[in-house]
Structures are given as C-alpha cells and as structure tokens.
Amino acid sequence: MAARRSGLGRGLEALIPQDQSMEGFAEIPVASIEPNPLQPRSTFDPASIDALAASIEAVGLLQPIVVRQGGGGYVLVAGERRLRAVKQVGLATIAAVVRSESDEGTSLAEALVENLQREDLGILEEAAAFSQLMEDYGMTHEDVGRHVGKSRSAVTNTMRLLQLPAVIQGMLVKGELSPGHARALLGSDDERYVVHIAKRAVAEGWTVRRVEEAIRLRTTQGQAKSHRAKKIRPAAIIELEERLQERLGTKVNIDFRGKGGKITIKYTSPEDLERIYRHLFVPDA
C-alpha cells in the first residue's frame, strides 16, 4: 500500500504547539520507534485496531503519539493502539510529539487543555483530543469538561462521534455532514443502515431532523420485529435510559418487563469496557 501522510489538519498542529517544554511536533519514521518497555497492556483487541485503522484511512490520524528520543531513534511513551493501527494501514511516518528528557509528565496534557480552550478545532479533532487526555493521561469525562469549560455530557457526546463508521467520519471531516447529522446517526447500531442514511443525507441534502426521523423509524421497526407487541414503556424508564447513556457515553437499552427486565450496555473495545467499568464500580472515576 502506498504510504501517505497522517491526516493531520491545521487544527491538530495548533493543538500540539512547539514550546519550550517539548522538543516539538514532527512526522517521524514508524520504523524508528521502539516499544514502550513499561507498557502495562500486553494484548490489544484486533477488532479495535481494525476500526482505528479504518478511521485513519478515511480521515487520517487525529491524535499524535508521544515519544522520547533514545537509542538512536525514539521510544514510545503513549499511543500504542495508534501506532499499531498506522502500521496496519502501511504508513511510513506518524505524527508525534517528541518529548525531551526534562519534559514533565503533565506538560503535554497542559498544552492539550490550553489549546482546546482557544483553538477553533474540527469536531473530530476535538473528540480525538478529549480521547487522548483520557487514554494517555487518565482523565475522566468530568476532568476533561472541567479543564476545557464544557459539561461532562458535552464531552461524552462529542467523543461518541469517534464510534461512527470510518466512511461517516470522512463525510464529517469534509463538511458533507454536520455534527448534528452525525449525532443523529448515533441513534442506530445498524452500521449498514447508518451508512446508507448518511449517503442519502449527503446526496439529497437532508436536514438533521429528517435524519433523526429515519433513524427513529428504523429503531421502532427493529423493536417491533424482535419482540412480541410490547406495552408502551413508562416515561421514567425512557428518561433513565437516556440518563444512563449520557452518564456512560455509550448506547444503553432498558428492556422493561414490568417487575423486572434487563439492561444492555454497548462497548466498542476492551478499553471502552474498562472505562464503563470505572464509571460503574470505581468511586470518583
């Protein structure tokens, strides 16, 4: 596969400024990067890497990795999933922040936060930056929101856009779909149907409301086919379902059956499952 540059636009280069605390932002050879000897995770979900690779092919790399110089090349500090996905795509170089030996561990996080507060980033660039703060620096949705002046739910809903199929992410980056259209498409788990609706919306100039109606109709039809006729769900159950989705940042379905029922929570990768677990069971996560 022919190598091409990582798809970093103006936004992310502004997001990772070159300053006195870091050696700088650069495109470096993938082959020159040594693995992080302190990486605690030894296994990575192949499906998660495949999805990230597809996203990189569609819209480019939205989050740089972090490296230190060492051993005649570079040593990976953060971003192993991104590095693996870039290797899978076949790119020869990768966007990286090169940290100096004197760089404090929090300096990149501080730079990310500072620039998120002032730069006019694309919505996916913003989502990727939120994700990087959480993945590489252990921040929660609440932490990110507090630092950048947004509500936890705004951070969660923005990050959910990274769950969209790569082809839809591409439409969003090109401006063919608005963030409102993209958020409406998150209402269905049927990837083929979601991509079909996205393509129709672009070709026929659909409004956000029309996309919402198409997704709602599909969801209603799916529920009717999968179960015998159901009673109308109480408003309190619907509200609780929406609050859980907002809290956990993922699709939640409550199958209400009167006295009992079940709750289904969607996750997209082992890392996403670990994040949900922390929200549910770890105090102050």
pLDDT one-digit tens code per residue, 52-99: 898 888 888 887 888 888 777 888 887 888 899 999 999 999 988 887
Going through 30-70 in order, the beta strands assigned E by DSSP cover 33-34, 65-70
Considering Cα of 168, then 51, then 212, then 151, what sign does the dihedral take? negative
Label the pairing between strands 24-29 and 93-99: antiparallel
Q: Which residues partner with 73 through β-bridges?
A: 70
Label the pairing between strands 24-29 and 65-70: unpaired
pLDDT tens digit sequence for 103-162: 545 555 666 666 666 556 678 888 888 887 787 677 888 888 888 788 888 888 888 898
Supply the Cα-derived Rg of the chain in whole angstroms: 20
pLDDT at 62: 81
Closest CA to 133 of 103, 165, 159: 159
pLDDT at 120: 61
142 is catalytic: no
User: Which residue in 80, 142, 212, 271 is the catalytic one?
Assistant: 80
Task: Note the pTM of the prediction, 2 decimals.
Answer: 0.55
Burial 185-208 (b: 16+ CB within 10 A, else e): bbebeeeebbbebbeebeeeebeb
Q: Which of 19-28, 159-168, 202-211 has the lowest mean pLDDT?
A: 19-28
Q: What is the largest CA-CA distance in the chain?
A: 67
- Is 60 exceeded by the pLDDT of residue 228? no
- The amino acid at 262: K
Place of tokens 């856009």: 161
> Quick one: tokens of 223?
């529920």
d(CA 241, CA 239): 5
> Quick one: tokens of 36?
């992080």
Would you list the domain boundaries of the chain?
Answer: 10-161, 173-226, 233-285
Average pLDDT over residues 200-225: 83
Total residues found in the chain within this entry: 285
Other C-beta atoms closer than 10 Å to the C-beta of 45 total 15
C-beta separation of 69 from 23 below 8 A = yes
Query: What's the CATH architecture for 10-161?
Result: Alpha-Beta Complex (3.90)
Closest CA to 219 of 194, 199, 183: 194
d(CA 223, CA 86): 38
> Quick one: tokens of 68?
């230190």
